[in-house]
Amino acid sequence: MRHSSIFIYSDRIINNINIIKSKIYPHQQILAIVKANGYGTDAKSVVKVLVEKGIKFFGVASIYEALSIRETFKEVDIIVLSPFLPEEVDLYLTSNIITTITDIDRAVLINRIAYSKGKVVRAHVKVDTGMGRLGVVYDDAEELIKKVKELKNINLEGVFTHFPSADIKDDFTLEQISLFKRLIDKLKEHNILFKYLHSANSGGIVFYNDTFFNLVRPGLLMYGAYPSEAVEKAINVNNSIKWFSNILEIKKIKKGSSVSYGRTFKTDKDMKIGVVGVGYADGFLSLNSNNGFFYINGRRANIIGRVCMDYTIVDISGIEAKIGDEVIICDSIDGIRINDISKRTGLIPYEVLTGIGPGVRRFLK
């Protein structure tokens, strides 16, 4: 395990969920996205908090993420938002995981295996209305859905799409919504109906939520970060984590001394430095080298020199500090929120969160 740790604050996640709920319609449910280990926090901790809040539907990116959650949470609904591989079919059937269908060949395969085992698999079809990634292309979607509906061992309970640019408020999202509605209306003419229709990610919830849909898929907002500056100006959520470590060593160095690899920082005065137990092996990347600061005993301590694999060095001149003192790396404090780190490093906020290493200890508070 690493020197650094994170606290996941249940009250902050609940606060963020309440803010998200204020943006949706009464008939809409939340499909909480907890892929990538809950965006780098801790998926099981987040699911626990949300289940206690009454949320019972969760989205992940792989069957293995789904199975990890299913081990602890037997009654919740879990959808894998990626299409399955043939060798994964049995895992869906034995664990009651909802699958995503994007082509007829795999639909026929899972239907056949489900039939042979006396099972019915729950499924949603993903339609590519402009993301250009996963999903059946829009022009083929009606035909695919009609064929899937004929397969007796698939319960096709939903259809969804995904927005690539809802967070930047462009007309393209409106075009996607229009296409999706047109598809569903065509299917209604053939008496093909669905329990769930969904499209809105975090940006979509804020700017493009539509009563046509009855599920929304919050991700980044739930964790207290923003996918764009436009979203940040439109809604106020709270950094869900505190990432922290400790001072491992303190020393005084002379004017003209160099600090860390590459000697990229040289002191212009005598200085007191602290060596902090966090580095790029924790997910605190070298893009933070000579860039940004931590909080130590309520004071800003500037990062100096290159971030190392296990350590980051800070200037603690004028700060009362001792070995073992807590160092706050990321929290709901000006300058070290998730989006603050994103802006100063050029990383997207998703990378800041999901990049926190598996060796970093995690605690639900």
Length of the chain in terms of residues written? 365
CA distance 59 to 210: 20
Q: Which residues contact 71 (CB under 8 A, 6 or more apart)?
A: none
Q: Is 39 among the residues known to form the active site? A: no
Q: Do 92 and 63 touch, CB atoms closer than 8 A?
A: yes
CA distance 226 to 205: 12
DSSP string, 52-74: HTT--EEEESSHHHHHHHHHH-S
Choosing from 9, 35, 39, 223, which is the catalytic residue? 35
* Phi, psi (rounded to 5 degrees) for 215: -130, 145
Tokens standing for 139?
């022009």
Q: Do 282 and 300 touch, CB atoms closer than 8 A?
A: no
CA distance 190 to 160: 19
Bridge partners (DSSP) of residue 300 are 295
Among candidate residues 160, 175, 235, the one with its CA nearest the CA of residue 205: 235
CA distance 307 to 288: 7
CA distance 106 to 41: 33
Strand 98-101 relative to strand 121-128, pairing:
parallel
First to last CA, the chain: 19
Q: Is 261 among the residues known to form the active site? A: yes
Choosing from 147, 251, 261, 365, which is the catalytic residue? 261
The catalytic site residues sit at 35, 261
